[in-house]
Amino acid sequence: MMIRLDKYLADMGAGTRSEIRKSIRAGRAAVNGAVTKRPEIKIDTEKDTVELNGQNVSYEAYEYFMLNKPSGTVSAVTDRQETTVVNLIRDRKRDDLFPVGRLDKDTEGLLLITNDGALAHRLLSPAKHVDKIYFARIRGAVTEEDKKLFARGLDIGDEKPTMPADLTICVSGEISEITLTIREGRFHQVKRMFQAVGKEVIYLKRLGMGPLILDEHLKPGEYRRLTDKEVTELCSLERKQ
């Protein structure tokens, strides 16, 4: 990709465009080892090397992070009052990251944070039916009857019933523990599905989305970059569907 030097540096979080232009004009940037004072020169992001203040600045068109979202953060880019999931990603290069889909403020677990809009669009497209796997604690005994109802599809007050969902009962009792795989992403879907069978979700955590599985080493609030393998799997899912 060919882009202007000042945009290259701004994309990589080196400052605002005007700060960067000042630095370039002051002779603090070099391209392929030679100082340039021209913010507008075109850089080949695949081939050229860029330095600012003597530090190499490599270009990344896309960044992909797996976050274990903690309860109490909002699935947004910015918010006046609340900490957002993007605020938690501190060592990013790009300033155009966003969360792929939403988890409720009190939900924990897997959230993909990226600036790859095409990937996000495909993962979230209702037509793609990407699996989302959740773990939940439920007030009340979850039963085999619930399992059948979830598999059949439930009326949760929307125009259409939910698509068949796989409910696995891990513990059934006063507080039950379950895993649930759904293939849609409706607003408060898991909570509303349990409401429809007279039960309440008291803890919710997302474990998986398509081929991505939450890394068990990530504590709530921690994140890591996706591995190349995970990125390839996500992109091949895009093509398969």
Comparison of 10 and 85: residue with beta carbon closer to ligand URA: 85
Q: Which three-class secondary structure string do you get for the chain?
A: CEEEHHHHHHHCCCCCHHHHHHHHHCCCEEECCEECCCCCCEEECCCCCEEECCEECCCCCCCEEEEEECCCCECCCCCCCCCECCCCCCCCCCCCCEECCCCCCCCEEEEEEECCHHHHHHHHCCCCCCCEEEEEEEEECCCHHHHHHHHHCCCCCCCCCCCCCEEEEEECCCEEEEEEEECCCCCCHHHHHHHHCCCEEEEEEEEEECCEECCCCCCCCCEEECCHHHHHHHHHHHHHC
Note whether 103 binds ligand URA by CB under 6 A.
Answer: yes
The verdict on whether 116 is a catalytic residue reads: no
The residue from 51, 104, 166, 233 that contacts ligand URA (CB under 6 A) is 104
Note whether 136 binds ligand URA by CB under 6 A.
Answer: no
Least distance in angstroms from the C-beta of 188 to ligand URA? 4
The residue from 31, 123, 130, 204 that contacts ligand URA (CB under 6 A) is 204
Comparison of 24 and 182: residue with beta carbon closer to ligand URA: 182
Annotated active-site residue in 48, 79, 104, 215: 104
The residue from 178, 190, 226, 234 that contacts ligand URA (CB under 6 A) is 190
Q: Which residues are catalytic?
A: 104
Residue numbers of the site for ligand URA (CB under 6 A)? 103-104, 107, 188-191, 204
